[in-house]
Structure 1
Amino acid sequence: MSAALDADDSEPVRIPITGELDLHTFAPRDVSQVVPAYLEACRERRILTVRIVHGKGTGTLRETVHALLRRSPLVANFRLGDETSGSWGATLVTLKN
């Protein structure tokens, strides 16, 4: 991300801001920092539709993401993906303008 994320004071991780965030590359402990920072970076670039890929798995990561989205003042709404956007393994987010 062109916003630096620094979970353990090591080198910041740079993620391209494209409107799609794949959480498979992050440790679960980092998600609570990564998701809000990514949404803010998208909004700054006027990317108001974001796809967050959390995977299907047990649903724990999905629930964590949804809890973060419910608390975020940046989020207008969100829903699970459809059959063309990842189904219940991804969440589609609309950010406030």
Structure 2
Amino acid sequence: MNDDGAMEYPIDGVLDLHVFPPSDVHDLVPEYLRACREKGILTVRIIHGKGTGTLRRIVHSRLESLPWVRSYHLAGHGSGTWGATIAYLEPAGTGGNTD
């Protein structure tokens, strides 16, 4: 955690949602993807787990709402299969709204 109590999370292209409360996911996904774009990371693996599919649906809904997400798909074998989603981002400054 940093000084203001917020958890610090590495911006490395892998977002594991297991460490966050489900209520944070809606805002967390675009924030993390924004930070990845700023660092030039344009392929991101989002681990939402297999479970009931609720987190997967939230993640996919958020990805669909972001104009700078080029595409996404469920991960293949070795990358989490249907427990993770791979998102492909437009470089910062392209792909519509940069927010």
TM-score (norm 2): 0.86
Equivalent residue pairs, number = 89
* 1:86 aligned partner: 80
Q: Which runs of 5+ in 1 are unaligned?
A: 5-9
1:74 Cα offset (Å): 2.0
| Identical aligned residues as a percent | 53
CA RMSD of aligned residues (A): 1.2
| 1:11-90 alignment runs, 5 A limit | 11-90=5-84
Deviations 1:50-70 (A, max 9, x none): 000000000011000000000
CA distance in 1, matches of 2:26, 2:8: 16
Deviating above 2 A after TM superposition, structure 1's stretches of 4 or more consecutive aligned residues are none
Deviations 1:41-88 (A, max 9, x none): 000000000000000000011000000000012200000000111000
TM-score (norm 1): 0.88
Q: Which runs of 5+ in 2 are unaligned?
A: 92-99
